[in-house]
Amino acid sequence: MSETTTDAQPMTGLIKRDRGAHNVGLGEVPRPVPGPDEVLLQVYATGICGTDLHIQDDEFASTPPVVMGHEVTGRVVEAGPGAEDWLGVRVSPETYFYTCDRCEACLAGRRNLCPTRKSIGSHVNGGFASHVLVPQRNLHEVHASVGEHAGALYEPLSCVAQCLCDPAVASPGDTALVVGPGAMGILTAQVLKAQGAEVTISGTPGDQQRLDIAASLGLTPVLAGDLEDAIPGIGFDVVADASGNERGIDAGLRAIRKGGHYVQVGLTGKPISVDIDLVCLKELVVTSGFASTPRSWHRVERLLASGAVVLDPLVTDVSPLSAWETSFARTRKADGLKLMLDPRMDA
């Protein structure tokens, strides 16, 4: 409850130490003290995401040294002046620590596009540590039906909602294909299903565990090699790429029908080569979304409260911070679905 950061206790965090590939490891940082309208969360879980791997590889902008991790859930254990109402609440925070609140994007409710945006996990210390500091306006209470670790999936789900909702991409009766059965893919597929589409999700033979989880959620899994035979009629009405993979994107553009709606959810991390003529020849509508907005977070709250989307089945592994290297390597190999770090396990 103090307003100063003197005599701060140290805590261990997973830090991007410097620019350049790798330069990631555990280190000590001061445990922050919340100022006005800020809270301190005790971290229950932080998800490992493709963005973390891109930061590790220096393919995604960051300002080191910085504690990584932006898919966070935990409980409010300290509150600065004005934020006391949040004490004790289990929450998941939006990732923007700072936006200007004056630019055209901010004033239009699109803080995700603010040019001076600073987010936790890349520019401000994030969730791979025992505690993380966040502004109270970023907080969302985690729904009682969502498990302690799965609360960290609010953030990726809000990014998916930013790509697919308001307005809805799919209509009841649509056929949809999601390429890539990672966490983003399975969340994408669940949201398209909630919008009324019949959803097929494609993956490689190495994705079998992920495809099994997708099947358990009422999605139709298909191996990429068999996709041709799974294409309905003249093609899928909606295709969403959540693989960020050149071959996957190409397959998606070929499987979509003329006049269909293509959504790019995944990031490739580097320029790739695709036949963009397909967009013209098929008169595709192409949309995307970057990160999340307050609106997409509110959409997430309703999707979870209604039970249309579930998060817990996606959490396949939870490890202490000390095991970060193995968990990052497994995420890179698509071994498991959503791997998380729970810093309480290090104590």
By the criterion CB under 5 A, which residues form the site for Zn ion? 49, 51, 71, 99-100, 103, 106, 114
Is the Cβ of residue 12 or residue 292 nearer to Zn ion in the bound state? 292
* Known catalytic membership, residue 12: no
Catalytic residue among 46, 51, 95, 99: 51
Task: Please provide residue 220's backbone torsions phi and psi, each rounded to the nearest 5 degrees.
Answer: -100, 110
CB of residue 329 to Zn ion, shortest distance in Å: 17
Who's near 117: CB < 8 A, 6+ residues apart?
96, 98, 99, 111
The Cα 156–Cα 338 span in angstroms is 11
Q: Residue 216 CB, nearest distance to Zn ion (Å)?
A: 23
Q: Return the number of the residue (228 or 290) whose C-beta is nearest Zn ion.
A: 290
Instruction: Report the residue number, 86 or 297, with the smaller CB distance to Zn ion.
Output: 297
- To Zn ion, the closest distance from the beta carbon of 291 in angstroms equals 9
Is 51 labeled as catalytic in the residue annotation? yes
Which one, of 129, 170, 114, lies nearest residue 10 by Cα? 129
Tell me the DSSP string of 256-308. EEEEEEEEE-S--SS-----THHHHHTT-EEEE--S--HHHHHHHHHHHHTTS
Q: Which of 5, 6, 46, 54 is flagged as catalytic?
A: 54
Going by C-beta distance under 8 Å and a sequence separation of 6 or more, which residues neighbour residue 170? Answer: 164, 176, 192, 195, 196, 197, 237, 238, 261
Choose between 115 and 218: whose C-beta lies nearer to Zn ion: 115
Q: Residue 269 region, left (φ>0) first, then alpha (ψ -120 to 50), else beta?
A: left
By C-beta, is 13 or 69 nearer to Zn ion?
Answer: 69
Helix residue ranges, H only, the chain: 50-56, 104-107, 154-164, 183-194, 208-216, 227-230, 246-255, 277-281, 294-305, 324-332
Of 50 and 221, nearer to Zn ion (C-beta) is 50
Instruction: Tell me the closest approach of the beta carbon of residue 258 to Zn ion, in angstroms.
Output: 33
CA distance 163 to 160: 5
3-state secondary structure 64-110: CCEEECCEEEEEEEEECCCCHHHCCCEEEECCEEECCCCCHHHHCCC
CA–CA distance, 324 with 27 (Å, rounded to integer): 12
Smallest separation (angstroms) from Zn ion to the CB of 45: 13
Q: Bridge-partner residues for 120, per DSSP?
A: 124
Nearer to Zn ion, 54 or 261 (CB): 54
We find the least distance from the C-beta atom of residue 26 to Zn ion, in angstroms, to be: 20
Q: Give dist(CA 207, CA 242) in Å, integer.
A: 13
Nearest approach, Cβ of residue 87 and Zn ion (Å): 27
Residues assigned a catalytic role: 51, 54
